[in-house]
């Protein structure tokens, strides 16, 4: 009983730490954007800040973790500067356009207004968790098919996705090493389709605060998936227990649920032929492309 209580205390403290850090990243991104009058320029600046802080957050949380695989790619100073330039030149502008599209599809409301009671705080948090979970599922579904198509077609792979797979052993910074076409196809398009779904269903992810927080979680998950460390950053940190409640067809790693694991994406980078989902293993399992990582990785 004492051991179980200690385990739960550890899980809850980790949950609080991660969500506190992600919320801080979202707040910094939003505050940075407020320093600029032009809305798109402010969203661009906020996206740059969010990417940088997400990398710093994952590096801090995974420090001391066991490296995945036997190979470790080393980025030189030139490569690091080039990836940072890619963030500024097309990752952040694309994120700014997607956030503008999300605001355009949402009903007008002042979601930054403070809740009037503890109950309204709890309700707002609960709604955000459920709606963001639906958004993540829709995003991951669309990303899965774009990603799979890029690997199935030699032409698409060469034109769109090859740049990202220069790195057989990912690291946090290589999360953002993509071609411009890849950013549009595998990031912007799935995100916009997911926001369109929320709009069609009239679901209330309507405020700037919620959208900034959603994108902070998105960055955390994507950078965590490329950490190269067996530290198990959660694929749905908003409420880590929710994906575990949904049974999955493949649980060879000893835990149930649809949540993805860093080692699964690491294995994708190693062999290329499987594990195309970014967040949830469910799409790979359902469509027959899930592959359990080899012992050398897991």
Q: What sign has the CA pseudo-torsion 272, 297, 290, 281?
A: negative
Instruction: Supply the mean pLDDT for the chain.
Output: 86
Distances (CA, A) of 88 to 51, 78, 190, 275: 10, 15, 21, 29
CA 111 – CA 205 distance, rounded (Å):
9
**Does residue 298 fall inside a structural domain?**
no
CA 82 – CA 85 distance, rounded (Å):
5
**Structural contact between residues 220 and 54, judged by C-beta atoms closer than 8 angstroms:** yes
**Does residue 296 fall inside a structural domain?**
no
Q: According to the model, what pLDDT value does residue 82 have?
A: 96
**Does residue 24 fall inside a structural domain?**
yes
% of the chain at pLDDT higher than 90: 53
Q: According to the model, what pLDDT value does residue 108 have?
A: 58
Q: What angle do CA 46, 216, 258 make, to 5 degrees?
A: 155
**Angle formed by the axes of helices 208-225 and 39-62, to 10°?**
40
Of residues 23 and 168, more confidently modeled: 23
Query: What is the average per-residue pLDDT within 30-55?
Result: 94
CB atoms within 10 A of CB 219: 26
**Does residue 162 fall inside a structural domain?**
yes
Q: For 122-136, what is each residue's pLDDT tens digit? A: 888 888 999 999 999
9: confidence class by pLDDT, cuts 50, 70, 90: confident
**Does residue 25 fall inside a structural domain?**
yes
Query: What is the average per-residue pLDDT within 154-167?
Result: 94
Residue 125 structure tokens? 């948090």
Q: For 264-282, what is each residue's pLDDT tens digit? A: 888 899 889 899 998 998 8
pLDDT at 252 over 70: no
CA 57 – CA 102 distance, rounded (Å):
26
pLDDT at 229 over 60: yes
pLDDT at 202 over 60: yes
In terms of residue numbers, what domain contains 51?
Answer: 2-286
**Does residue 57 fall inside a structural domain?**
yes
Q: According to the model, what pLDDT value does residue 260 have?
A: 85
On whether the pTM is more than 0.85, the answer is yes
Q: 46-60, 180-194, 210-224, 229-243: lowest mean pLDDT where?
A: 229-243
Q: According to the model, what pLDDT value does residue 122 have?
A: 82
CA 233 – CA 219 distance, rounded (Å):
12
Q: How many domains, in total, are found in the chain? A: 1
Q: According to the model, what pLDDT value does residue 284 have?
A: 93
**Does residue 246 fall inside a structural domain?**
yes
Q: What letter would DSSP give residue 114? A: P
pLDDT at 110 over 50: no
**Does residue 203 fall inside a structural domain?**
yes
Q: Most confidently modeled of 41-55, 57-71, 95-109?
A: 41-55
Ordered alpha helix ranges (H), 37-176? 39-62, 77-86, 92-105, 118-152, 154-156
Closest C-alpha to 24, from 59, 67, 54:
54
């Amino acid at each position: 009983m004492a051991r179980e209580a200690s385990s739960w205390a550890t899980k809850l403290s980790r949950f609080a730490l991660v969500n506190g850090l992600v919320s801080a990243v979202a707040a910094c991104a939003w505050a940075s954007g407020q320093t600029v009058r032009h809305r798109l320029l402010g969203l661009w600046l906020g996206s740059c800040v969010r990417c940088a802080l997400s990398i710093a957050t994952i590096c801090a949380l995974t420090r001391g973790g066991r490296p995945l695989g036997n190979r470790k790619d080393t980025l030189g100073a030139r490569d690091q500067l080039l990836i940072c330039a890619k963030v500024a030149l097309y990752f952040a502008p694309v994120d700014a356009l997607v956030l503008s599209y999300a605001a355009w599809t949402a009903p007008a409301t002042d979601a930054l207004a403070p809740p009037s009671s503890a109950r309204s705080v709890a309700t707002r948090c609960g709604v955000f968790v459920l709606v963001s979970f639906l958004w993540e599922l829709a995003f991951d579904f669309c990303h899965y098919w774009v990603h799979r198509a890029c690997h199935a077609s030699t032409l698409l792979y060469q034109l769109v996705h090859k740049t990202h797979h220069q790195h057989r052993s990912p690291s946090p910074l290589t999360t953002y090493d993509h071609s411009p076409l890849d950013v549009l196809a595998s990031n912007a398009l799935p995100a916009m389709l997911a926001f369109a779904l929320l709009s069609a269903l009239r679901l209330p992810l309507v405020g700037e605060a919620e959208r900034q927080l959603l994108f902070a979680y998105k960055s955390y998950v994507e950078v965590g998936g490329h950490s190269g460390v067996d530290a198990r950053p959660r694929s749905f940190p908003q409420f880590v227990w929710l994906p575990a409640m949904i049974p999955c067809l493949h649980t060879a790693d000893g835990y149930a649920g649809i949540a993805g694991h860093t080692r699964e994406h690491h294995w994708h980078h190693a062999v290329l032929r499987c594990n195309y989902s970014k967040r949830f293993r469910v799409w790979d399992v359902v469509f027959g492309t899930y592959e359990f990582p080899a012992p050398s990785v897991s």
